[in-house]
Amino acid sequence: MRVVVTGAAGLLGRHVAAACLTRGHEVFGLDTAPQPDGGWQQATADLSDLGTTVQFCQGADAILHCAAIPRPLGHAGAEVFRVNMATIYAATEAARLCRVGLFVYASSFSVLGYPFASPVPTPHYLPIDEDHPVAPQDIYGTSKWLGEELVAALVRQGALRAISLRMPWLQTPDSFARDIGPRRDTAAAAADLWAYLDARDAGTAFAQALDWQGSGHLRCYLSADDSYSDTPTRDLIAAAFGAAVPLRNPLPGHSAPIDCSLARRELGFLPRHGWRDYATEGDRR
C-alpha cells in the first residue's frame, strides 16, 4: 500500500512510518519539521493547508494522521485548537477528495478528560473501554474528540473507512525515567490513570490497522499491558478514588486500567514492550 503519514517527524509519526516501512508498505512522510532519515520518502509541508495536503495525498491508499500539537502544556489554547483542527480537517478532506480508502487517526484517551483536567475526573468504571462515556474538558482533549467526530462525518458520507486509536502517554526507554519517573509516585499520577504506551507498540498498531477489513468507523483504545506504577493497580484505584469506581474485571497485580480487547480482536494489537524491560534494553544497547 502507498501510505501517507502526517506528522512523521514526531515521536508517534516516526514510529508509525518505521513500522509501516518494515511491513513492506510504501511510506510518504509529511511534516513541517525535519524528519529522521528512516528510509521513507518525505516532504516538508504545511499540513494545515488543504491544497498542499491534497497534493501529497494523491494516489495514496491510506492516510495515517499523526500530526498535531501532542500536549497543551506550553501552548496557548487557541494555538492548540487551531493547529489540531486545521490539520485534521485538511487530512480528512484530502482523503475525501483523493478517494483514499482508509483513514487512521491518532486520537487520545484525553477524550475522557484525562490527564489535563482539574479536578481529576472519577471514572464511571475501570478498566476503561469503548463503552465508557467521553467527557473532554481541556482544549487538547476537546480537539481530539472533535477530530474523531470529523472523521465520523466523512464515514457517514461514505467517503472512507476509518479507525481512531485512543492512546495514553507515549513512552520510550529513553523518555520513561525523565517523564514518568518524577510523577508516578505522586497523587498527580491518577490523572494519567497510571497508563502509558510504548511508542513502538503504537507504531505497530497503526501498521496493523492497514490490514483492517472492517467498515464504518472503529474507535478503540491502546495501552501497555501494565500500569506505569510499582503499586498494584487496585491499591492505586482505592487510594485515588476510594470505593466509588466499580471494577468490571479484577485488575490483578499491575494490570493496565485500560481494556484493549477491541483493538486486539479487530487489529491483532498485542503490546510487546513495557517499562519493566527498559533497563534490560538499555544494557543490550
For residue 284, pLDDT over 70 is answered with: no
**pLDDT tens digits, 6-19:** 999 999 999 999 99
Q: Name all domains of the chain by residue range, CATH numbers in brackets.
A: 2-284 (3.40.50.720)
Percent helix, strand, coil in the chain, to 5, is 40, 20, 45
Confidence (pLDDT) at 279 = 77
Q: In this model, does residue 103 exceed pLDDT 90? A: yes
What local confidence, expressed as pLDDT, does residue 197 receive? 98
pLDDT of residue 283: 46
pLDDT digits (tens, 9 = 90+) for 163-209: 999 999 999 999 999 999 999 999 999 999 999 999 999 999 999 99
Higher pLDDT, 119 or 236: 236
β-bridge partners, 226: 255
282 pLDDT band, cuts 50/70/90, is: low
With a pLDDT cut of 70, the percent of the chain lying above it is: 99
The end-to-end CA distance of the chain, in Å, is: 33
Residue 280 has pLDDT above 90, yes or no: no
pLDDT digits (tens, 9 = 90+) for 124-135: 999 999 999 999
pLDDT band of residue 58 (cuts 50, 70, 90) is: very high
Q: Contact 120/190 with Cβ under 8 angstroms?
A: yes
* pTM exceeding 0.85: yes
**Other CB atoms within 10 A of residue 104 CB:** 28
Q: Which amino acid is at 253?
A: G
Q: How far is CA 70 from CA 115, 122, 179, in A?
A: 12, 23, 14
